[in-house]
Protein backbone atom coordinates (compact mmCIF):
# COMPACT_ATOMS: atom_id res chain seq x y z
CA UNK A 1 0.00 0.00 0.00
CA UNK A 2 1.25 3.54 -0.67
CA UNK A 3 2.72 5.23 2.38
CA UNK A 4 0.40 7.82 3.84
CA UNK A 5 2.40 10.37 5.81
CA UNK A 6 -0.57 11.24 8.03
CA UNK A 7 -0.91 7.83 9.55
CA UNK A 8 1.27 5.74 11.81
CA UNK A 9 4.07 3.67 10.48
CA UNK A 10 3.25 -0.04 10.33
CA UNK A 11 6.22 -2.33 10.56
CA UNK A 12 5.79 -6.05 10.17
CA UNK A 13 8.45 -8.15 11.93
CA UNK A 14 8.63 -11.64 10.49
CA UNK A 15 10.69 -13.86 12.77
CA UNK A 16 9.89 -17.06 14.64
CA UNK A 17 12.12 -16.08 17.56
CA UNK A 18 10.29 -13.97 20.18
CA UNK A 19 13.55 -12.53 21.58
CA UNK A 20 14.69 -11.34 18.13
CA UNK A 21 11.29 -9.77 17.52
CA UNK A 22 11.54 -7.88 20.81
CA UNK A 23 15.05 -6.66 19.93
CA UNK A 24 13.71 -5.29 16.62
CA UNK A 25 10.84 -3.52 18.33
CA UNK A 26 13.16 -1.94 20.88
CA UNK A 27 15.58 -0.82 18.19
CA UNK A 28 12.86 0.90 16.16
CA UNK A 29 10.56 2.30 18.81
CA UNK A 30 11.87 5.88 18.44
CA UNK A 31 11.26 6.09 14.70
CA UNK A 32 9.16 8.98 13.38
CA UNK A 33 6.21 8.74 12.90
CA UNK A 34 5.69 6.47 15.89
CA UNK A 35 5.65 2.91 14.60
CA UNK A 36 3.05 0.27 15.21
CA UNK A 37 4.54 -3.21 15.19
CA UNK A 38 2.84 -6.23 13.75
CA UNK A 39 4.38 -9.62 14.09
CA UNK A 40 4.38 -12.88 12.20
CA UNK A 41 6.18 -16.09 13.07
CA UNK A 42 5.83 -17.77 9.69
CA UNK A 43 5.81 -16.72 6.02
CA UNK A 44 2.15 -17.79 5.77
CA UNK A 45 1.21 -15.54 8.68
CA UNK A 46 3.24 -12.69 7.17
CA UNK A 47 1.37 -12.92 3.87
CA UNK A 48 -1.93 -12.91 5.75
CA UNK A 49 -0.93 -9.70 7.58
CA UNK A 50 0.15 -8.09 4.30
CA UNK A 51 -3.22 -8.91 2.79
CA UNK A 52 -5.17 -7.63 5.79
CA UNK A 53 -3.75 -4.14 6.14
CA UNK A 54 -1.33 -1.65 4.67
CA UNK A 55 2.23 -2.27 5.85
CA UNK A 56 5.04 0.23 5.33
CA UNK A 57 8.08 -1.98 5.89
CA UNK A 58 8.83 -5.65 6.50
CA UNK A 59 11.73 -6.84 8.64
CA UNK A 60 12.29 -10.36 7.46
CA UNK A 61 14.34 -13.05 9.14
CA UNK A 62 16.00 -15.38 6.65
CA UNK A 63 15.17 -18.58 8.54
CA UNK A 64 11.45 -19.22 8.84
CA UNK A 65 9.75 -22.49 9.76
CA UNK A 66 7.62 -22.80 6.61
CA UNK A 67 9.60 -21.04 3.84
CA UNK A 68 12.98 -19.45 3.47
CA UNK A 69 13.07 -15.66 3.61
CA UNK A 70 14.24 -15.31 0.00
CA UNK A 71 11.14 -17.07 -1.27
CA UNK A 72 8.84 -14.80 0.74
CA UNK A 73 10.85 -11.80 -0.51
CA UNK A 74 10.28 -12.99 -4.09
CA UNK A 75 6.53 -13.19 -3.45
CA UNK A 76 6.34 -9.70 -1.94
CA UNK A 77 8.25 -8.29 -4.90
CA UNK A 78 5.73 -9.93 -7.19
CA UNK A 79 2.93 -7.70 -5.81
CA UNK A 80 1.75 -4.87 -8.11
CA UNK A 81 4.09 -1.92 -7.71
CA UNK A 82 1.59 0.21 -5.75
CA UNK A 83 1.21 -2.61 -3.15
CA UNK A 84 4.88 -3.50 -2.95
CA UNK A 85 6.45 -3.13 0.50
CA UNK A 86 10.13 -2.48 1.21
CA UNK A 87 11.76 -5.50 2.82
CA UNK A 88 14.80 -5.35 5.08
CA UNK A 89 16.35 -8.81 5.35
CA UNK A 90 17.80 -9.89 8.71
CA UNK A 91 20.48 -12.55 8.59
CA UNK A 92 22.77 -14.16 11.09
CA UNK A 93 26.51 -13.44 11.11
CA UNK A 94 27.10 -16.86 9.54
CA UNK A 95 24.61 -16.16 6.69
CA UNK A 96 26.22 -13.07 5.15
CA UNK A 97 26.04 -14.57 1.65
CA UNK A 98 22.24 -14.61 2.09
CA UNK A 99 22.33 -10.83 2.40
CA UNK A 100 23.89 -10.61 -1.04
CA UNK A 101 21.26 -12.97 -2.44
CA UNK A 102 18.52 -10.93 -0.76
CA UNK A 103 19.72 -7.73 -2.42
CA UNK A 104 19.73 -9.53 -5.77
CA UNK A 105 16.15 -10.65 -5.10
CA UNK A 106 15.04 -7.06 -4.54
CA UNK A 107 15.43 -6.50 -0.79
CA UNK A 108 15.68 -2.80 0.09
CA UNK A 109 18.54 -3.48 2.47
CA UNK A 110 19.84 -6.01 4.99
CA UNK A 111 20.96 -6.19 8.61
CA UNK A 112 23.52 -8.69 9.82
CA UNK A 113 22.97 -9.73 13.45
CA UNK A 114 26.46 -9.28 14.84
CA UNK A 115 27.18 -10.76 18.24
CA UNK A 116 27.88 -7.46 20.03
CA UNK A 117 24.47 -6.06 19.02
CA UNK A 118 25.71 -3.07 16.98
CA UNK A 119 23.13 -3.87 14.35
CA UNK A 120 20.41 -2.58 16.66
CA UNK A 121 21.76 0.97 16.42
CA UNK A 122 21.97 0.74 12.65
CA UNK A 123 18.44 -0.56 12.22
CA UNK A 124 16.48 2.74 12.44
CA UNK A 125 18.65 4.36 9.76
CA UNK A 126 18.31 1.32 7.50
CA UNK A 127 14.52 1.22 7.87
CA UNK A 128 14.21 4.98 7.30
CA UNK A 129 16.34 4.69 4.20
CA UNK A 130 14.16 1.84 2.89
CA UNK A 131 11.03 3.92 3.50
CA UNK A 132 12.44 6.95 1.72
CA UNK A 133 13.57 4.87 -1.23
CA UNK A 134 10.12 3.33 -1.46
CA UNK A 135 8.50 6.78 -1.38
CA UNK A 136 10.77 7.95 -4.21
CA UNK A 137 9.95 4.87 -6.26
CA UNK A 138 6.25 5.43 -5.71
CA UNK A 139 6.49 9.10 -6.62
CA UNK A 140 8.32 8.17 -9.84
CA UNK A 141 5.72 5.52 -10.59
CA UNK A 142 2.87 7.99 -9.97
CA UNK A 143 4.52 10.54 -12.26
CA UNK A 144 4.85 7.92 -14.98
CA UNK A 145 1.19 6.96 -14.55
CA UNK A 146 0.15 10.61 -14.75
CA UNK A 147 2.28 11.12 -17.84
CA UNK A 148 0.81 8.06 -19.50
CA UNK A 149 -2.74 9.21 -18.66
CA UNK A 150 -1.91 12.67 -20.04
CA UNK A 151 -0.50 11.10 -23.23
CA UNK A 152 -3.66 9.01 -23.71
CA UNK A 153 -5.93 12.04 -23.06
CA UNK A 154 -3.91 14.10 -25.51
CA UNK A 155 -4.01 11.42 -28.14
CA UNK A 156 -7.80 11.04 -27.74
CA UNK A 157 -8.25 14.79 -27.95
CA UNK A 158 -6.11 15.01 -31.08
CA UNK A 159 -8.06 12.10 -32.57
CA UNK A 160 -11.36 13.87 -31.90
CA UNK A 161 -10.03 17.10 -33.39
CA UNK A 162 -8.81 15.34 -36.52
CA UNK A 163 -12.06 13.50 -37.02
CA UNK A 164 -14.03 16.74 -36.54
CA UNK A 165 -11.70 18.40 -39.03
CA UNK A 166 -12.31 15.62 -41.54
CA UNK A 167 -16.08 15.85 -41.18
CA UNK A 168 -16.03 19.63 -41.43
CA UNK A 169 -13.83 19.70 -44.50
CA UNK A 170 -16.02 17.09 -46.14
CA UNK A 171 -19.11 19.17 -45.47
CA UNK A 172 -17.35 22.29 -46.68
CA UNK A 173 -16.16 20.52 -49.82
CA UNK A 174 -19.64 19.18 -50.42
CA UNK A 175 -21.20 22.62 -49.99
CA UNK A 176 -18.64 24.29 -52.22
CA UNK A 177 -19.20 21.69 -54.89
CA UNK A 178 -22.99 21.44 -54.66
CA UNK A 179 -23.84 25.06 -54.02
CA UNK A 180 -21.16 27.57 -54.98
CA UNK A 181 -19.95 25.33 -57.81
CA UNK A 182 -23.48 25.01 -59.18
CA UNK A 183 -24.14 28.72 -58.86
CA UNK A 184 -20.96 29.59 -60.72
CA UNK A 185 -21.86 27.15 -63.46
CA UNK A 186 -25.28 28.82 -63.81
CA UNK A 187 -23.66 32.28 -63.93
CA UNK A 188 -21.36 30.99 -66.64
CA UNK A 189 -24.34 29.90 -68.76
CA UNK A 190 -26.14 33.22 -68.16
CA UNK A 191 -23.15 35.30 -69.16
CA UNK A 192 -22.52 33.23 -72.22
CA UNK A 193 -26.09 34.06 -73.28
CA UNK A 194 -25.66 37.79 -72.55
CA UNK A 195 -22.39 37.86 -74.46
CA UNK A 196 -24.02 36.23 -77.44
CA UNK A 197 -26.86 38.72 -77.40
CA UNK A 198 -24.45 41.69 -77.01
CA UNK A 199 -22.52 40.43 -79.97
CA UNK A 200 -25.69 40.30 -82.03
CA UNK A 201 -26.70 43.82 -80.91
CA UNK A 202 -23.28 45.21 -81.70
CA UNK A 203 -23.27 43.65 -85.14
CA UNK A 204 -26.73 45.03 -85.92
CA UNK A 205 -26.34 48.57 -84.50
CA UNK A 206 -22.61 49.07 -84.07
CA UNK A 207 -23.41 51.11 -80.94
CA UNK A 208 -20.54 52.24 -78.73
CA UNK A 209 -22.45 51.10 -75.60
CA UNK A 210 -22.91 47.64 -76.99
CA UNK A 211 -19.17 47.42 -77.63
CA UNK A 212 -18.48 48.50 -74.02
CA UNK A 213 -20.92 45.94 -72.69
CA UNK A 214 -19.20 43.34 -74.76
CA UNK A 215 -15.79 44.25 -73.25
CA UNK A 216 -17.20 44.11 -69.75
CA UNK A 217 -18.83 40.80 -70.40
CA UNK A 218 -15.53 39.39 -71.68
CA UNK A 219 -13.82 40.59 -68.49
CA UNK A 220 -16.54 39.05 -66.31
CA UNK A 221 -16.26 35.84 -68.25
CA UNK A 222 -12.57 35.66 -67.33
CA UNK A 223 -13.40 36.28 -63.69
CA UNK A 224 -15.97 33.53 -63.69
CA UNK A 225 -13.46 31.11 -65.19
CA UNK A 226 -11.00 32.07 -62.52
CA UNK A 227 -13.60 31.55 -59.76
CA UNK A 228 -14.39 28.09 -61.12
CA UNK A 229 -10.67 27.22 -61.15
CA UNK A 230 -10.27 28.53 -57.61
CA UNK A 231 -13.21 26.53 -56.30
CA UNK A 232 -11.72 23.43 -57.91
CA UNK A 233 -8.39 24.13 -56.24
CA UNK A 234 -10.09 24.61 -52.86
CA UNK A 235 -11.87 21.29 -53.35
CA UNK A 236 -8.57 19.57 -54.10
CA UNK A 237 -7.04 21.09 -50.98
CA UNK A 238 -9.97 20.18 -48.75
CA UNK A 239 -10.55 16.71 -50.03
CA UNK A 240 -7.54 14.90 -51.40
CA UNK A 241 -8.63 13.53 -54.76
CA UNK A 242 -8.51 9.76 -55.16
CA UNK A 243 -7.72 9.15 -51.49
CA UNK A 244 -11.06 7.58 -50.52
CA UNK A 245 -11.60 5.88 -53.84
CA UNK A 246 -8.15 4.60 -54.77
CA UNK A 247 -6.02 4.89 -51.66
CA UNK A 248 -2.91 6.61 -50.40
CA UNK A 249 -0.49 5.70 -53.15
CA UNK A 250 -2.76 6.89 -55.96
CA UNK A 251 -3.55 10.10 -54.07
CA UNK A 252 0.16 10.83 -53.48
CA UNK A 253 0.95 10.12 -57.11
CA UNK A 254 -1.79 12.52 -58.16
CA UNK A 255 -0.59 15.15 -55.69
CA UNK A 256 2.93 15.07 -57.11
CA UNK A 257 1.81 15.24 -60.72
CA UNK A 258 -0.25 18.36 -60.16
CA UNK A 259 1.74 20.07 -57.40
CA UNK A 260 1.18 23.83 -57.59
CA UNK A 261 4.67 24.54 -56.19
CA UNK A 262 6.53 22.08 -58.47
CA UNK A 263 9.30 23.61 -60.59
CA UNK A 264 11.16 22.20 -63.53
CA UNK A 265 14.50 21.87 -61.82
CA UNK A 266 13.05 19.97 -58.83
CA UNK A 267 12.60 16.24 -59.14
CA UNK A 268 9.59 14.88 -57.23
CA UNK A 269 10.05 11.14 -56.90
CA UNK A 270 7.51 8.70 -55.43
CA UNK A 271 9.14 5.46 -54.33
CA UNK A 272 6.58 2.93 -53.11
CA UNK A 273 7.70 -0.51 -51.93
CA UNK A 274 6.64 -3.03 -54.56
CA UNK A 275 4.45 -4.99 -52.16
CA UNK A 276 2.14 -2.07 -51.38
CA UNK A 277 0.80 -1.38 -54.89
CA UNK A 278 -2.78 -2.15 -53.77
CA UNK A 279 -2.40 -1.75 -50.01
CA UNK A 280 -5.14 0.11 -48.16
CA UNK A 281 -5.15 1.30 -44.56
CA UNK A 282 -7.93 2.59 -42.30
CA UNK A 283 -9.35 5.88 -43.67
CA UNK A 284 -8.05 7.98 -40.75
CA UNK A 285 -4.54 6.52 -41.18
CA UNK A 286 -4.53 7.20 -44.94
CA UNK A 287 -5.88 10.70 -44.42
CA UNK A 288 -3.31 11.59 -41.75
CA UNK A 289 -0.43 10.11 -43.79
CA UNK A 290 -1.55 11.99 -46.89
CA UNK A 291 -1.87 15.32 -45.10
CA UNK A 292 1.55 14.86 -43.44
CA UNK A 293 3.14 14.03 -46.81
CA UNK A 294 1.41 17.02 -48.40
CA UNK A 295 2.75 19.41 -45.75
CA UNK A 296 6.27 17.91 -45.85
CA UNK A 297 6.38 18.18 -49.65
CA UNK A 298 5.06 21.74 -49.57
CA UNK A 299 7.65 22.66 -46.91
CA UNK A 300 10.45 21.17 -49.00
CA UNK A 301 9.36 23.09 -52.10
CA UNK A 302 8.69 26.37 -50.26
CA UNK A 303 11.61 26.51 -47.88
CA UNK A 304 14.43 24.14 -48.87
CA UNK A 305 15.24 24.96 -52.51
CA UNK A 306 15.91 21.26 -53.12
CA UNK A 307 17.16 19.40 -56.20
CA UNK A 308 15.04 16.39 -55.34
CA UNK A 309 12.20 15.42 -53.00
CA UNK A 310 11.76 11.68 -52.45
CA UNK A 311 8.58 10.24 -51.00
CA UNK A 312 8.78 6.62 -49.94
CA UNK A 313 5.91 4.48 -48.75
CA UNK A 314 6.06 1.01 -47.28
CA UNK A 315 4.14 -1.29 -44.94
CA UNK A 316 1.37 -3.85 -44.81
CA UNK A 317 -2.15 -3.90 -43.41
CA UNK A 318 -0.77 -3.65 -39.84
CA UNK A 319 1.89 -1.01 -40.41
CA UNK A 320 2.74 2.00 -42.54
CA UNK A 321 6.02 3.84 -43.06
CA UNK A 322 6.14 7.10 -44.94
CA UNK A 323 9.10 9.37 -45.44
CA UNK A 324 9.52 12.64 -47.30
CA UNK A 325 13.19 13.52 -47.80
CA UNK A 326 14.59 16.59 -49.50
CA UNK A 327 18.23 17.44 -50.25
CA UNK A 328 17.75 21.15 -49.62
CA UNK A 329 18.94 23.72 -47.12
CA UNK A 330 17.81 22.02 -43.89
CA UNK A 331 15.73 23.55 -41.12
CA UNK A 332 17.13 26.22 -38.83
CA UNK A 333 15.85 24.96 -35.48
CA UNK A 334 15.51 27.12 -32.41
CA UNK A 335 13.85 30.00 -34.25
CA UNK A 336 10.39 30.78 -32.94
CA UNK A 337 7.84 31.03 -35.75
CA UNK A 338 4.46 31.92 -34.28
CA UNK A 339 1.60 31.20 -36.62
CA UNK A 340 3.59 28.66 -38.66
CA UNK A 341 1.67 25.54 -37.94
CA UNK A 342 2.72 23.02 -40.57
CA UNK A 343 5.20 21.05 -38.43
CA UNK A 344 2.95 21.23 -35.35
CA UNK A 345 0.09 19.94 -37.49
CA UNK A 346 2.16 17.01 -38.76
CA UNK A 347 2.97 15.99 -35.19
CA UNK A 348 -0.66 16.30 -34.11
CA UNK A 349 -1.90 14.23 -37.03
CA UNK A 350 0.62 11.51 -36.17
CA UNK A 351 -0.43 11.61 -32.52
CA UNK A 352 -4.09 11.31 -33.47
CA UNK A 353 -3.52 7.96 -35.17
CA UNK A 354 -1.04 6.72 -32.54
CA UNK A 355 1.92 6.92 -34.91
CA UNK A 356 5.49 8.10 -34.38
CA UNK A 357 6.66 11.20 -36.20
CA UNK A 358 10.26 12.37 -36.48
CA UNK A 359 11.70 15.33 -38.31
CA UNK A 360 15.43 15.11 -39.00
CA UNK A 361 17.38 17.90 -40.60
CA UNK A 362 21.02 18.59 -41.33
CA UNK A 363 21.95 22.14 -42.36
CA UNK A 364 23.00 22.18 -46.00
CA UNK A 365 22.09 18.51 -46.51
CA UNK A 366 18.33 18.40 -46.24
CA UNK A 367 15.35 17.36 -44.20
CA UNK A 368 13.49 14.08 -43.74
CA UNK A 369 10.04 13.74 -42.23
CA UNK A 370 9.26 10.20 -41.12
CA UNK A 371 5.93 8.72 -40.08
CA UNK A 372 5.66 5.22 -38.64
CA UNK A 373 2.30 3.70 -37.76
CA UNK A 374 1.57 0.26 -36.32
CA UNK A 375 -1.85 -1.24 -35.69
CA UNK A 376 -2.61 -1.38 -31.96
N1 LIG B 1 11.98 20.92 -45.57
C2 LIG B 1 12.35 22.08 -45.03
N3 LIG B 1 13.55 22.64 -45.37
C4 LIG B 1 13.95 23.81 -44.84
N5 LIG B 1 13.26 24.51 -43.90
C6 LIG B 1 12.06 24.01 -43.53
C7 LIG B 1 11.55 22.77 -44.05
N8 LIG B 1 10.37 22.51 -43.47
C9 LIG B 1 10.15 23.52 -42.62
N10 LIG B 1 11.15 24.43 -42.65
C11 LIG B 1 11.32 25.65 -41.81
O12 LIG B 1 10.51 25.47 -40.67
C13 LIG B 1 9.56 26.52 -40.60
C14 LIG B 1 8.27 25.98 -40.01
O15 LIG B 1 7.61 25.12 -40.92
P16 LIG B 1 6.04 24.98 -40.84
O17 LIG B 1 5.60 24.02 -41.85
O18 LIG B 1 5.70 24.71 -39.41
O19 LIG B 1 5.54 26.44 -41.16
P20 LIG B 1 5.48 27.20 -42.55
O21 LIG B 1 5.68 26.22 -43.67
O22 LIG B 1 6.43 28.36 -42.49
O23 LIG B 1 4.00 27.75 -42.55
P24 LIG B 1 2.66 26.89 -42.65
O25 LIG B 1 1.97 27.12 -41.35
O26 LIG B 1 1.95 27.45 -43.82
O27 LIG B 1 3.05 25.45 -42.84
C28 LIG B 1 9.44 27.06 -41.99
O29 LIG B 1 9.05 28.42 -41.96
C30 LIG B 1 10.85 26.89 -42.53
O31 LIG B 1 11.67 27.94 -42.12
MG1 LIG C 1 4.60 24.49 -43.77
Q: Give the model confidence (pLDDT) of 279-305 as tens digits.
A: 899 999 999 999 999 999 999 999 999
Strands 35-40 and 9-14: parallel
Ligand 1 neighbour 322 (Cβ under 6 A): no
In whole angstroms, what is the distance from residue 210 CA to residue 203 CA? 9
- Mean pLDDT of the 5-26 span: 88
Alpha-carbon separation of residue 220 from 31, 182, 184, 216, 241 (angstroms): 92, 17, 12, 6, 29
Question: What's 363's DSSP letter?
Answer: T
Q: Give the distance (Å) from ligand 1 centre to CA of residue 273.
A: 28
The percent of residues in the chain predicted with pLDDT above 70, rounded, is: 96
Please tell me the residue having the least CA distance from ligand 1 atom 8.
299
pLDDT value at 60 more than 60 = yes
Beta bridge partner(s), residue 310: 269, 325
In whole angstroms, what is the distance from residue 46 CA to residue 154 CA? 43
Ligand 1 neighbour 304 (Cβ under 6 A): yes
Pick the range with the lowest mean pLDDT from 34-38, 101-105, 201-205: 201-205
Please tell me the residue having the least CA distance from ligand 1 atom 10.
331
pLDDT value at 3 more than 60 = no
In whole angstroms, what is the distance from residue 88 CA to residue 85 CA? 10
Please tell me the residue having the least CA distance from ligand 1 atom 27.
342
Ligand nearest to the CA of 326: 1
Mutating to test ligand 1, I would choose from 333, 342, 345, 348 the residue with most ligand atoms within 8 A of its C-beta, which is 342
- Mean pLDDT of the 235-246 span: 83
Question: pLDDT tens digits, residue range 61-88?
Answer: 988 999 989 999 999 988 888 888 999 9
In whole angstroms, what is the distance from residue 345 CA to residue 341 CA? 6
Query: From start to end of the chain, where are the E strands?
Result: 9-14, 35-40, 57-61, 87-92, 109-113, 267-272, 308-316, 319-326, 356-362, 366-374
Beta bridge partner(s), residue 35: 9
Distance of alpha carbon 326 from the chain centroid: 25
Strands 356-362 and 366-374: antiparallel
pLDDT of residue 7: 60
Mean pLDDT for the chain? 87
Ligand 1 neighbour 331 (Cβ under 6 A): yes
Q: Give the distance (Å) from ligand 1 centre to CA of residue 262.
A: 16
In whole angstroms, what is the distance from residue 26 CA to residue 20 CA? 10
Please tell me the residue having the least CA distance from ligand 1 atom 11.
331
Ligand 1 neighbour 343 (Cβ under 6 A): yes
Phi and psi at 358, nearest 5°, equal: -130, 140
Q: Which ligand 1 atom minimizes the distance to the CA of 343? A: 18
In whole angstroms, what is the distance from residue 191 CA to residue 218 CA? 9
Amino acid sequence: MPIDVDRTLRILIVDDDAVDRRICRRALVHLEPTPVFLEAQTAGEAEKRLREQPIDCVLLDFRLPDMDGLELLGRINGYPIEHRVPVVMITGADDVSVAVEAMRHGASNYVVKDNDGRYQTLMPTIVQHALRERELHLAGWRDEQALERYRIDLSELAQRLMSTEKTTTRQLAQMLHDQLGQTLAAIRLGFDAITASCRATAAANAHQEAANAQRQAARLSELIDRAVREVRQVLVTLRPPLLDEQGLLAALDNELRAHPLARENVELRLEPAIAIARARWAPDVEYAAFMIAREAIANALRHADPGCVRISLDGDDRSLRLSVADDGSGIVFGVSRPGHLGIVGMRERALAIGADFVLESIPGKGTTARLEWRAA
